[in-house]
Structure formats: structure tokens, C-alpha cells
Chains A and B, each alone.
Chain A
Amino acid sequence: MPHLNFILPHWLYWGTLILFPLVAMYFVQRQLKRGVPRGPSLFIAYLFWATGGIMGLHRFYLRSMWGFIFVPVFLLSLHVSDGIRDRREDVSRTHAAYETAVSAVRRLTLPPGVSMTQNEQARLEKAKADEAKAKTEADFERAHMAQWQSWSNWLAILLAVMLAIDAVLMPMLVRKQRAREANEAVAVEPPPPEMPPIGTQEDPTMHLHTRVTDALEWFNVRAGEFVAYWAVISVFVYYYEVIARFVFNSPTNWVHESMFLMYGMQYMLCGAYAYREDQHVRVDVFYVKLSTRGRAIADIITSVFFFIFMVTMAWTGTRFALDAINNSEVSFTEWGIQYWPVKVMLPLGAFLMVLQGLSKLIKDIVLVTSRRA
């Protein structure tokens, strides 16, 4: 198996975080408009070909039993990768032993012209014998490793050929399978489970709209929808890491960091969106028993506390983020990604929360005053 030495460039990381949600939104809109296609799709088939083709996933997706041909080859290549890991250890172990032996010989060899005692002579002879033995062992292990590597290469070539054939056949396969499935009775999709809101969605202002508040909330809705799609990125990135490590023996140094930073930004930016959808759970003892107006009044009272929290967070967070910006902070890891955008999300998230809180406060006041009138 070849090595994967791909290190995600910083520009590609930030670029993906910005572009992927936009692309996803476009496709969502398109499928909502044109209707969701039935049966297998060429895009998904190629997606699984690219990501899990070595396991035959694209074949299984098309319900073709030929996928089972990939499985033993894949398992064999896993085994070989594992073997190479062991061999590599053997090689470095025997190589280290050889180096030790060489330096032992060097230590025992006296400068020319100095005569050796018999004892020294014997020790040198022994060291030389050890060196020769260690060299044979190291050479043997290296040859052994080369053997495994050539098996691995042959397997890689075999898989590559199989994948190339399938890449060409794919449109035909999808067309055939689609025709086959068109004749099957379409299974009725069950309605999605309606989750009853408990401790959530009790906000009396949830369905109230005014022009000002809708404008304020526009940001939060967009921000929330935007960062939601990042979850999809992480699935493929973690999958890449595991495959790279176990099949290609090439662990990465950027996957974990890039993903937890991405999720960190997501947590901050989704707070306001979740608040708008009233997803932050509350205790249901008295609040639900209040009338709509009562709830609005309670909300106005407690909003003071909400703002104390969020304004403090936005304020202290801004200083925190400014420090990072002034230093153009990057992470201390090998990957060295820019850290400051992540830190900026902290005050930004709090700021969006303040916006949402304002919008809610306005709506609460509207609710209280309009009922009185």
C-alpha cells in the first residue's frame, strides 16, 4: 500500500469550512425543489467508491454481490499493513543492534601502530563476529520487509485495477440497478418521529414575528444552519484518519486538531440558533403552568440575568480574542493552524446570543403590552 502523506493545508481547511455548507445548502434547496430522487444515485455510488471502494462499498450500495470480491482483498491488505508495521519494528530493532555492534567494533579498534594485548584482540574478534551477525540479521529483516512491501504493492495494484474497472462500469451499474428497483414496490417511508418538547419550546414568543426581531434573528438562523453542516465534514475526516492509519500506515497530524477546533467554533455559533428554537432546556415546575402573558413577564425578569451572563462573556471574550489576534496566535502543534479565528468565535457566539436575547425581549414586551391593550 502506498503512503498517504497528505497534510491539510490551512487555506483548504478554512476554505472547506466556508464552502462546504454553501454547497450543501445549494443541493438541499435543489432537492427540495425538484424532489428527492428515488433509487440509487450515481453521485452516492461514486462517493462510496471513492471513500470505501476498497471494501467494495459501492458494489454493496448497488446491491451487487461482486462486492464480496473486494472483501478478502481488503482484509488481506489490512493484514499486510499490520505485517509491515511489525516488520518495520523488526528492521529498526535489528538496525539499531547493528549500529551498536559497529560502534563497539570502532571502540575496540586501536589506532594503527599500537599493539594489542591478547585479551583486547579476542574482544575485537568477538565484536567483529557480532557485527557480522547483526548485519546478516538486519539484512535479513530488510529483505523480509521488502518482501512484505512488494506484496503490499501488488495488492495495491490489484485493488487499483478493480476500482478502475468499477469506475468505468459505474454509470451502467447504476442504470441497471435503478431499472431493477423501479419495478419493486416503493416502501412507504414512515413519518419522522415527532419528539415532544419537554422543557423546551415553551417560549411564548416562538411564533411571534416583528420586522425588527426577524431581522435580528436572520443572522442567528443563518449562522446556525451554516455550522450545522460541519458535522458532515467531520464524519469523512475521521473516517479518513482511521483508513489512513490502518490501511495505509500513515497516521495524520491534523485530523484531530482540525476537528475539535471546528466543533469548538460550532458550539459557540449554534447557541443563539438553539435559543431561538428554544432548545436550551429549562425546569418545568412552574413555568409551564403560567399563562402566555405570565411567561412573557417571567422572561422579562430573568432576561436581566441572561444579559449579565452574555454581556460579560462577550466583553471578556473580546479581550481574550484581541490578545490572540494581536499575536496572530497559531497552535503549538506540528500542524500550526491559526488559533485566533477559533478564539474570535467565543465573543462572536456571545454577541449572537445577546442579539437573540434582545429579539426575545422585544417580543416579550410586545406580548405583554399588546395583551393589555
Chain B
Amino acid sequence: MGLEIDIAWLTVLLFGSLAILLALGLPMAFCTGSLAVIFLFVFGNPAILNMMPSRIFPFMTDYQLSAVPLFIFMAAVLEKAGIIEELFDAVYKWLGSVKGGLAAATVIACTALAAMVGVVGATEVTMGMIALPAMLKRGYDEKLACGALLSGGTLGILIPPSVMAIVYAVVAQQSLGELLVGSIFPGLLLSGLYVSYILVRCYINPSLGPALPPEERVSGREKLQLLKNTIAPILLIVLVLGVIFVGIATPVEAAGIGTFGALFISALHRRLNWPGIQEAAIATLKATAMVMWIFFGATMFVGFFIVKGGQTFVANSILGTGLPPYGILMLMMVILFVLGMFLDWVGILLLTVPIFLPIMKSLPWEGVFGLPGVKPDDVALWYGVIFMVNMQMAFLSPPFGYSLFYLKSVAPPQITMATIFKAAINFMVLQWIGVGLCIIFPAIVVWLPGLIYAGH
């Protein structure tokens, strides 16, 4: 029909109807897709609707995106392979004599698992089933125990391999290898923050997380024997990360051989069988379908908004606030945080990155407090990692943080939702510190990729 409308009103109308449809419970993928179709028809040229398949088809056949199902499949196979239990067992026996050792072991085991698994979910649920009762039985503070699980569990989305990194790389047209390498230090930094927070609190007040009683500790000999169980997972981590690092294979191929490795580990544990494969394949299919269809819907929605000048409008409105670049970045972080309270990360990524990233790229990043800033070429990479660290909070922030519900589903009944909320808040503060550190010291993000991909 081609009605003309002021972009400000269009923005209100578009996002207003999106909010209404979402509230009515229509899945995100269909809200964005249908609104794109309707608005294209009303405010654009209906002939453009014929462009729809040619807009979707490139995503169907995107080479990088095939890493999404592969990494999800790898996680699904590993969950059933029994290595989560083994890893936790080994780490917690090693750290048993330390105050707060069990909680620290939880975070460390989660970090190691995050290096094999690119999603949040099963890691946390399985860890919750084994680590939470273990901690509560030994008199750990409920909030500290839950917090360790919540924060450790969300590392899966940050530490490579990471499904979020793949989606971001495709949307932002950023090198996936760089992004994966760039998220390693921030991931370890956050993991380190959690562990030190736990240990410091337990040393100040040992009743929060008492060390194991001497009779439960294991001897040095047994500790060495436990190491045997960690060989296979460590080899797998080295394989996947090493392949990406050295650059001998693409991240997609790394996902392929990583999954092969996962199948082998599962066979070693005698858990490789056809029904298990079927379960893993179906679980992968469901998760992939969710991500990809949001992709199809949201790409048209955002595409329409940008064509109508929405990106410029948002850019002008944000720049018009007169905030300095770092103020604008903080504003974006707050917006992402608020969105994270309600929306799924896939939707947030697809809706905001195409709008925010051009703004980020247009601004100078000269560093704060006299520290070195970010080169224009590195902005997409830097913003990507900050975005991922921020999105970890979307899993923790009430009222609709996934991780909170995952944990509640396996927690013993005396752990109330209120306890889990409170537990999440302390660790969200750590998360904000992590975001802040990555912003103030961009070298945490860009140094390693710069080193590895310098010649490319």
C-alpha cells in the first residue's frame, strides 16, 4: 500500500505491536516475522514481499551457522556421556581441604565444561543435581551454593565454543575465530572473579563454606588416580580450542571433530547407543529450530526497520542525548540488561546488534582514565564480547532468567525461588564488574585475537 509515516511513530507502532504480540504469547519467531510482513505490506511496497525467500535463503545456507547445530549436538552427546559427574568428582576431591572448596570446585568444573559445551542448560541442571546436595550436606550457605551454580552455569555461553558467538559472528559479519579466541580471557576472568569471591567470603566467614572434615579428604595418591578421569575431557578441550587457536581448521570443522570426540568419549563410557543418539539428535533439532526460526523472523523485522531509516533514527536519538561515547555504551548495556530480563538472548541479539553495532562503529573509542582505547577495526569484536558477558546476566536476572528456573527445577524443596533470586544478585554484581573491566581494559578482549590473527 505504501503509506507514509514518520519514523518516530513507525518505531512506536512497530515495537508497540511487537510488545503486545509477545505478551499475548505468540512465539518470538512468529511475532517478528508476521509484523515484518504486515508492515512491509502497509508501509512499503508489497512487491518487496517477494524478496522474503531471498532474504531467508542466505541464512539457510550460511556456512558458519552450521556450527550451531553441531555444537549443540556435541553438548547433547556429552551430557549423556557421564563426564559432568566425573569432572566434578575429580575437582571437588582436589579442593576438598580448602574453605569454600566445593563451591569453587563447582565453578571450576563448570568452566571446564563450558569449554566443551556452547549452551547454558544441561550443564547447570546436571551440576545442580550433584553439586548442590553435596554442598548443602556439608553445611554450605544456601545462597553461596546456588550462586556458584548459577554463575558457573552461564559461562557456557561465553567460553568458546559458544553458540552465541556463532550467531553474533553471522549477524555482525565478524570473524568467528577472532570472536571465539577473544572470549577466552573474559571467560577465565569471570570464572576467576567467581572463585575468588567465593574463597574470600569463605575465608572471612568459614561457616559459609566449611572445608571437608579430614576423614572425608582423599590422599595424594587417590588424587593422582582421579586425574585419569579428566584426561579425556581435557584432550577434547585441547582438541577443539587448539584447532580453533592454531587455525588449522575452521570453527565449523572444529565443531565437527569435537562432536566426533564427544561420541568417542561416550563410547568409552559405554553409553553410545542408538536410542541415546536419537535423543541427542532430537534435542539438538528442537534447540536449533528455535534459534533458526527466530533468525528468519527477526532478520526481516530488523531489515524492514533499517530500510525505513530506523537505525538512523535510533542513532540520532541516542547520540542526541549528548552523552560521551562511553556513556552511550553504558546506556546500551542498561538497555540490554533490561531486555534480558524478559527476552531470550537470540531475540535480543538479532534485534539489537544490527541497530547498536553501527552506532558503536561510528563513535571514537579513545579509552577511559587515560587507558588505551579500541581501534576502529576491533570495535565489532570488542562489542561482541561485551555483549556476550552482558547476556550472561540475561540468564540470571529475575523475573525470567533461565538459569534461575533450571536451578530451581533440581534444587531440594527447602531452596525457595527467593533464595535463588538473592543468590543471583551477588553474582550479577560480579558480572557487572566483568562488563566494566572488559570496557575499561579492552586489551582483555582484543589482545589475544590480535596476536593470533595478526597476519591474516
Which chain A residues have a beta carbon within 8 Å of chain B's beta carbons?
A: 24, 27-28, 30-32, 36-40, 44, 48, 51-52, 57, 60-61, 63, 181, 187, 189-190, 192-196, 198-200, 202, 224-225, 227-229, 231-232, 234-239, 241-242, 245-246, 256, 259-261, 263-268, 270-271, 273-275, 277, 279-287, 290, 295, 298-299, 301-302, 305-306, 308-310, 312-313, 316-317, 319-321, 342-343, 345-347
Contacts and interface: CB of A to CB of B under 8 A. Distances in A.
A238 B257 contact: yes
Contacts of A301: 24
14 contacts: A36-B274, A36-B275, A44-B272, A61-B264, A194-B409, A228-B285, A231-B285, A238-B252, A242-B249, A256-B63, A283-B23, A312-B49, A313-B33, A347-B53
B342 interface: yes
B255 interface: yes
B256 A242 contact: yes
Contacts of B38: 305, 308
A30 B28 CA distance: 39
Interface in B255-286: 255-257, 259-260, 263-264, 267-268, 270-279, 281-282, 284-286
A196 B409 CA distance: 6
A273 B288 CA distance: 11
Contacts of A198: 400, 402, 405-406
A234 B286 contact: no
Contact of B281 (A199, A232, A319): A232
Interface stretch (B121-129, B156-164, B213-221, B444-452): B121-129
Interface-central residue, A39, A60, A199, A225, by most chain B CB under 10 Å: A199
A228 B256 contact: no
A206 B411 CA distance: 26
A264 B431 CA distance: 36
A256 B253 CA distance: 9
A239 B257 CA distance: 5
A266 B30 contact: no
B201 interface: no
Q: Chain A binding site: helix, strand, loop or mixed by DSSP?
A: helix
Nearest to A25: B278
A229 B285 CA distance: 9
Contacts of B338: none
Contacts of B73: 231, 235
B166 to A, nearest CB: 12
Given A198-B402, A231-B73, A234-B256, A280 B293 contact: yes
Given A195-B121, A242-B249, A274 B290 contact: yes
B266 to A, nearest CB: 10
Contacts of A61: 264, 267-268
Interface in B41-93: 49-50, 52-54, 56-57, 60-63, 65-66, 69-70, 73, 79-80, 82, 85
Contacts of A57: 264
B285 A260 contact: no
Nearest to A40: B270
B26 A224 contact: no
B34 A309 contact: yes
Given A193-B129, A229-B281, A305-B21, A280 B289 contact: yes
A298 B24 contact: yes
7 closest pairs, A vs B, by CB? A238-B256, A287-B25, A274-B289, A264-B60, A280-B27, A196-B409, A320-B53
Nearest to A316: B52
Interface in B199-238: none
A295 B85 contact: no
A317 B267 CA distance: 42
Given A57-B264, A270-B289, A279-B289, A305 B28 contact: no
Interface in B175-209: none
Given A306-B34, A319-B50, A346-B60, A48 B293 contact: no
Given A28-B277, A274-B285, A305-B38, 20 more contacts: A36-B274, A36-B276, A44-B267, A194-B410, A195-B122, A225-B282, A227-B285, A235-B259, A259-B66, A267-B288, A267-B293, A270-B286, A274-B293, A275-B27, A279-B286, A285-B23, A295-B25, A302-B24, A310-B30, A346-B57
Nearest to B130: A190
B149 interface: no
B87 to A, nearest CB: 13
A195 B406 contact: yes
A195 B125 contact: yes
A266 B249 contact: no
A242 B257 contact: yes
Given A228-B282, A231-B285, A287-B23, A282 B28 contact: yes
A305 B69 contact: no
B289 A267 contact: yes
A202 B405 CA distance: 15
Contacts of A270: 285-286, 288-289
A263 B256 contact: no
Interface string B10-37: 0000000000011111111111011111
Nearest to A63: B268
A268 B26 CA distance: 19
B53 A342 contact: no
B361 interface: no
Contacts of A28: 274-275, 277-278
Contact of B52 (A227, A228, A313): A313
B225 to A, nearest CB: 16
Contact of A309 (B37, B50, B60, B65): B37
Nearest to B295: A267
A264 B292 CA distance: 10
A31 B25 contact: no
B216 to A, nearest CB: 21
Contacts of A271: 289, 292-293
Contacts of B259: 235
Nearest to A282: B27
B60 A268 contact: yes
A234 B264 contact: no
Nearest to A297: B24
Given A195-B122, A231-B73, A299-B25, A305 B129 contact: no
Nearest to A262: B66
B284 A316 contact: no
B3 interface: no
Given A199-B400, A281-B28, A260 B63 contact: yes
B105 to A, nearest CB: 18
A120 B356 CA distance: 68
A193 B85 contact: no
A192 B79 CA distance: 8
A196 B54 contact: no
A282 B312 CA distance: 29
B66 A260 contact: yes
Given A242-B257, A284-B400, A308-B37, A261 B277 contact: no
Nearest to B63: A260
A317 B296 CA distance: 13
A256 B54 CA distance: 21
A119 B73 CA distance: 73
B30 A309 contact: yes
Interface string B349-385: 0000000000000000000000000000000000000
